[in-house]
């Protein structure tokens, strides 16, 4: 029988910390109210790096790793952190460069940031542009070969901006590719996510059924450009005409597959030709509100899609919410081939944190990855006000939480496993480093680098 770890509650009542306001160009509009603290005995908080500066609404976002450095994006720039000693991380650089939401990836001295709210230009120091004016949105590129002194290289505008991006290395051709996900596009003037980016499809209809592929020549990154805009068949989100787009994409290079979370549906792609992905399956699940993120198991046999129910700004972990709301859903990869948009392929199982977060605390599954171990499926995930959770999906039909940490004021955007530790980028707290003291981590593989949405190295 699998050992279950009992939670130790730090506080039985809601914290009295003040609500945290968000910045004017935030795409997750809300006020965040901390929920009760709790943790399991086997997940220890080793270190905290509070958010920098005093900017009202400063928000941390995603993470990437290269060697002994972590790269932490935020809406006001990014931080480079030396994690050589995980219990005592050190900020090497704190770059001020406003942009929403600064999804981040790295490759051998280059750093890439997503910008999804119009600015006066791609350079740092640019200011927000109010609709209906047209401004820069897309990819920012930095040289971080000297981590203590990053420098701006250039920007690549992409259609409807870049909400997130996924790095696809193509070193044989001297470049990296970036799959740019952007949304929304609608005939409506405004959408649940703010003012719409309005574009036409090739047939003249309103919408945004595509991604942008950015090529970055490694020898000349300043010449990066959009080289393709592959079409992606999509349904309208919440039946709003033209409201469609992909939110996030995870690729597994050895599988030549991508798992795309595209708001109204998820998809499985063949990326044998990385510039021209081919849709293999369209995944429908009536329990999912917003398809948000994805991660493959390290043996390539399974894939988990996360539901950002409520858009990340509404409570979805109340006592009245079912376990299917805002959950992580597990599918067998082999069962997804040739699935059309109307067929419901039964998932193998789903998991949602079992702790009530209250009527005001935002809570849903957000960014995640699997611990790279053989023979087990251990999912590490962020859950906004629910903090960080570690769940055992080895038997997908009966997943179980084996560890969690919900610290004071948690509003955790991303939590990932990297080389023996868990790293969280919390929108208000900053970067937290955790140690999982559990047999579930036994034999976990280490990597020279990790962009969590770019999986390399099958483990079978």
Cα 237 to the chain's mean position, in Å? 19
Q: pLDDT digit string (tens) for 147-206?
A: 999 999 999 999 888 999 999 999 999 999 999 998 765 444 444 444 556 555 556 566
DSSP string covering 162-222, please? Answer: -SEEEEEEEGGGTEEEEEEE-----SSSEETTEE----B-TTS-BS--B-EEEEEETT-GG
Q: What is the CATH number of the domain that holds 117?
A: 2.130.10.10
Domain assignment present for residue 383? The answer is: yes
pLDDT value at residue 316: 95
Specify the DSSP element, H or E, that contains 383.
Answer: none
SS3 content of the chain, % helix, strand, coil (to 5): 5, 45, 55
pTM: 0.92
Specify the DSSP element, H or E, that contains 117.
Answer: strand 110-119
- Hey, what are 318's tokens? 């109340």
Domain count, the chain: 1
Domain assignment present for residue 294? The answer is: yes
Domain assignment present for residue 93? The answer is: yes
Domain assignment present for residue 460? The answer is: no
Domain assignment present for residue 1? The answer is: no
Query: How would you list the strands of the sheet with 151-157, edge to edge?
Result: 101-107, 110-119, 136-143, 151-157
Domain that holds residue 18: 7-455
* Pairing mode, strands 388-392 and 400-406: antiparallel
Spans in the chain with pLDDT lower than 50: 1-25, 30-31, 54, 186-194
Q: How far is the C-alpha of 397 from the C-alpha of 402, rounded, in Å?
A: 16
**Considering only CA atoms, which of 352, 357, 359, 368 is closest in space to residue 409?**
357
Domain assignment present for residue 2? The answer is: no
pLDDT value at residue 311: 87
pLDDT value at residue 424: 98
pLDDT value at residue 200: 54
């Amino acid at each position: 029988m699998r050992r279950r770890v009992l939670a130790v509650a730090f506080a039985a009542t809601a914290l009295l910390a003040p609500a945290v306001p968000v910045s004017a160009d935030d795409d997750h509009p809300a006020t965040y109210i901390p929920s009760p603290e709790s943790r399991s005995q086997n997940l220890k908080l080793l270190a905290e790096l509070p958010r920098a500066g005093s900017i009202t609404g400063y928000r941390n976002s995603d993470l990437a790793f290269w060697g002994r450095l972590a790269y932490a994006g935020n809406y006001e720039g990014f931080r480079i952190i030396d994690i050589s000693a995980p219990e005592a991380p050190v900020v090497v650089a704190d770059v001020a460069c406003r942009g929403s939401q600064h999804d981040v990836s790295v490759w051998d001295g280059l750093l890439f940031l997503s910008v999804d709210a119009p600015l006066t230009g791609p350079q740092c120091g640019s200011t927000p542009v109010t609709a209906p004016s047209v401004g820069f949105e897309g990819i920012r590129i930095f040289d971080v070969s000297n981590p203590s002194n990053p420098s701006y290289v250039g920007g690549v505008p992409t259609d409807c901006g870049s909400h997130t991006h996924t790095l696809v290395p193509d070193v044989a051709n001297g470049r990296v590719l970036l799959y740019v996900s952007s949304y929304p596009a609608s005939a409506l003037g405004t959408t649940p996510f703010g003012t719409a980016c309005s574009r036409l499809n090739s047939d003249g209809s309103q919408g945004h059924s595509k991604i942008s592929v950015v090529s970055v020549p490694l020898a000349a990154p300043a010449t990066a450009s959009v080289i393709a805009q592959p079409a992606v068949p999509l349904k309208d989100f919440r039946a709003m005409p033209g409201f469609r787009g992909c939110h996030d994409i995870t690729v597994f290079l050895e599988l030549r597959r991508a798992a795309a979370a595209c708001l109204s549906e998820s998809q499985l792609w063949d990326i044998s030709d990385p510039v021209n992905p081919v849709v293999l399956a369209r995944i429908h699940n009536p329990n999912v509100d917003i398809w948000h993120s994805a991660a493959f198991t390290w043996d390539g046999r399974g894939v988990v899609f996360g539901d950002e129910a409520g858009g990340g700004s509404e409570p979805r972990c109340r006592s009245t919410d079912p376990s299917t709301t805002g959950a992580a859903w597990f599918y067998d990869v082999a069962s997804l081939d040739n699935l059309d948009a109307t067929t419901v392929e039964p998932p193998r199982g789903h998991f949602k944190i079992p702790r009530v977060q209250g009527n005001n605390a935002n809570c849903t599954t957000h960014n995640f990855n699997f611990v790279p171990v053989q023979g087990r499926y251990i999912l590490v995930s962020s859950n906004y006000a629910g903090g960080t959770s570690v769940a055992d999906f080895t038997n997908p039909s009966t997943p179980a939480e084996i560890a969690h940490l919900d610290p004071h004021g948690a509003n955790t955007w991303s939590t990932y496993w990297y080389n023996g530790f868990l790293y969280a980028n919390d929108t208000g707290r900053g970067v937290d480093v955790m140690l999982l003291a559990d047999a579930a981590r036994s034999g976990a593989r280490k990597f020279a680098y990790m962009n969590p949405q770019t999986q390399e190295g099958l483990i079978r």
